[in-house]
A and B are shown apart, each in its own frame.
Chain A
Amino acid sequence: MFDGYTSSELMSIFAMQGFAGLSLFSVFVLMALGLAIIFGQMGVINMAHGEFMILGAYTTYLTSGFFQSYLPGLFGGYFFIAMILAFLICGALGALVEWLMIRHLYHRPLDTLLATWGLSLIMQQAYRSIFGAREVGVDLPEWMMGAIPVTEMVDLPINGLFVMVIALSVAVGVYLLMYRSGYGKKVRAVVQNRPMAEAVGINSAGIDRATFALGCGIAGIAGAAFTMIGSTGPSSGQAYIVDTFLVVVFGGAQSLIGTIVSAFGISQAQSTMEFFLSGSMAKVLTLLVVIGILMIRPEGLMALKVRR
């Protein structure tokens, strides 16, 4: 397939393909981190994860409308405000959902699956009633559109770079929170041994609520970021949920590093194969490889070693 191309053309294509892989990687990381926290740390299968992301996207949509009408001068920077709002709103809703629903179901993990699936349907229909069934277009400030031309053939998409920066910041933030803060220590203690953690005085119910809210808040940030590359509609969240679970399960449910390694592996495999095969075939092969590896390592790539 490379007949008739000069070596410089090939170099540029490979450079851009590498960039495509990295930007897919950052998308996966953003999608999966929130879920990894909820699923990995709490064992709750949150089927409404995609809908929380879309809540973040709608928050961005509303913020952009607000800035256009009332603060047009500051429109260029609205996106940062939108992301913070998305985090807060999704986190708050997450805490509410935990209090109303999830905390009653901790001992029935499969029921959380059904309950959160029901929640996702309710949220979708709520979006449809509030925002209409049609997708909404989120206006971006001028500086976030287009590409940086590096050479004649290589263009780096600005929104791709921006998603990478967000993914990196969120990942670093989560790492600091989980491994360098008192809260993180408590979360890890509760994950490893709940009764003992409670015995030493950790409020495990509070930790659960904060953790669920954090996961939902990160989903909100992801949703805000994805308005740049994807659609914002009542059922857009469905497009992300399968890939998200794939990344988290493949990485090993209880390991955040595993999630990141798995996001990297899957994104590179998929974008390389997409280049040489058709899109659908690439997806099929990726899934086959993941299933194969999970058969050998049912715990995922990075299993947490815990004495049971």
Chain B
Amino acid sequence: MDNTDKTAIGRPAGKGLGFRKSLMTLAASVVFAASTHAATPSTAEVNTTGLAVTDDTVTVGILHSITGTMAISEIGSVQAEKLAIDQINASGGVLGRQIEFVQEDGASDWPTFAEKTRKLLRQDNVAAIFGAWTSASRKAILPVIEQFNGMLYYPTFYEGLEQSPNVVYTGQEATQQILASIDWAVENKGAKTFYLLGSDYIWPRTSNKIARKHIDKLGLKVVGEEYYPLGHTQFNSVINKIKLRKPDVIFASVVGGSNVAFYKQMKAAGVDFTDEKPLLLTISVTEDEIRGIGGENVEGIYASMKYFQSLDNPNNKEFVAAFKKAYGDDMVIGDVTQAAYLGPWLWKAAVEKAGSFDIDKIREEFAGIEFDKAPEGYVRIHENHHLWSKTRIGQAQLDGQYKVVYETEELMEPDPFPEGYQ
């Protein structure tokens, strides 16, 4: 932007002679100064709270686990956020400023997340933090980011029951993911009985609570509900129980390494998911997880997410191509990776709408901010800081990709505190 202005006005000046030349140059530089002023407002104006903003750069923080047990999930988010930042910089930056980032490692340790947040906010004065993955790490960040009034862009689908003025939730909250998927199974697959299975922590338990309420409301039946400790690797007993109860749908929210064990053992126990007897509906297996589980073990399962790598729209094709170009052809992109990619873009939109990097000014502008270049399609920020987004059902294929079989017609409203579902 700046460069084109400069050459356009600068060229005739260069052709002039003597006094006239210097006059022209003077005029040009005045015009140029005015034009840059319009594109990049002065730092004092856009930054009244001492954030790390200079005349041509702005610093943000990236805070994910790149070591420890969560690294497996969080590295995709880091890659997506860096890609978004690169793309924003290539297209001129935010308020005429190039984005620089400070990356910190949460090391899969929740207190470390709190400590690094404090460092990013107090020492680096970052204008935004893109980060966290598990709810536990987000809860650790929360008091710090509220105390020092920062802004966190949190990418993971999660259980809801939270709405902080200092967090933007770019993933889905539980009702968006669950209600539509159960309705879909009932309407399209004639499901009448459900078996709820999850890892034993807050997200699966809350999700299953919501699922159970909704199933009760529809007058259908939950025939079993089970939780296994994180990292559990032996699922033979529950597989037998499932065979005994014969549910129409297994609703699964098993996470991490347990996932691999669960699907391998289901397959070994003679369950072929492509038969859909029972049908398996999961809210926790993205394309990323399938890489570890193996496509042959999950072929035929259904997942309810807002994003699949195979989505057929121009935004997504561009995104997938750019991601693979940056990180290699064998990369896969899951739901959370896409949600992480939205973070920097939504921040940019909010900053430009507010005309300022100040957290308080941005916050007032969040409601209604749209992003129509999102790989998942179109998203809009709700006044509760969550995103309006569509929910989609995909069926896992042998090659580890999902084929989209259903998507909601309307954007689902985010409802982090669902009445009657708690």
Contacts and interface: CB of A to CB of B under 8 A. Distances in A.
Contact of B68 (A160, A230, A235, A280): A235
Interface string A227-263: 0111111111011100000000000000000000000
B72 A133 contact: yes
A133 B270 contact: no
A283 B234 CA distance: 12
A128 interface: yes
B227 A279 contact: yes
B268 A233 contact: no
Given A146-B270, A157-B265, A133 B257 contact: no
Contact of A133 (B71, B233, B243, B260): B71
B127 to A, nearest CB: 28
Interface in B237-281: 237-241, 243-244, 256-261, 264-265, 267-270
Interface stretch (A39-47, A147-155, A193-201, A292-300): A147-155
B418 interface: no
B294 interface: yes
Given A27-B234, A240-B233, A279-B227, A134 B75 contact: yes
Interface in A120-158: 125, 128, 132-139, 145-147, 149, 153, 155, 157-158
Interface string A277-304: 0111011000000000000000000000
Contact of B237 (A20, A137, A159): A20
A134 to B, nearest CB: 5
Contacts, number: 141
B268 A158 contact: yes
Chain A CB within 10 A, most for which of B75, B231, B234, B288 = B234
- Of A226, A229, A278, most B-chain CB atoms within 10 Å: A229
B70 to A, nearest CB: 9
Contacts of B67: 125, 128
A153 B260 CA distance: 24
Contacts of B241: 275
Nearest to B296: A145
Contacts of B12: none
Nearest to B71: A133
Interface string B216-244: 00000000011111011110111111011
A232 B71 contact: no
A231 B71 CA distance: 15
Contacts of B238: 274, 279
B194 to A, nearest CB: 16
Given A133-B71, A134-B288, A279-B228, A145 B237 contact: no
B324 to A, nearest CB: 16
Contacts of B46: none
B268 A229 contact: yes
B236 A160 contact: yes
Interface in B371-417: none
A239 B270 CA distance: 25
A280 B236 contact: no
Contacts of B227: 278-280
A234 B257 contact: no
A231 B257 contact: yes
Interface in B58-95: 66-69, 71-72, 75
Contact of B229 (A145, A228, A280): A280
Interface of A: 5, 9, 13, 16-17, 19-20, 23-24, 27, 125, 128, 132-139, 145-147, 149, 153, 155, 157-160, 226, 228-236, 238-240, 270-271, 274-275, 278-280, 282-283
Interface of B: 66-69, 71-72, 75, 200, 225-229, 231-234, 236-241, 243-244, 256-261, 264-265, 267-270, 288, 291-296
25 contacts: A16-B236, A19-B236, A20-B236, A24-B234, A27-B233, A135-B257, A135-B292, A135-B293, A136-B291, A145-B296, A147-B268, A147-B269, A153-B243, A160-B236, A231-B233, A231-B256, A231-B259, A231-B260, A234-B72, A235-B68, A235-B69, A270-B234, A275-B237, A279-B227, A280-B229
Sorted nearest first, the 9 A-B pairs with minimum C-beta distance are: A135-B292, A20-B236, A231-B260, A155-B270, A147-B270, A157-B268, A274-B237, A279-B228, A133-B71
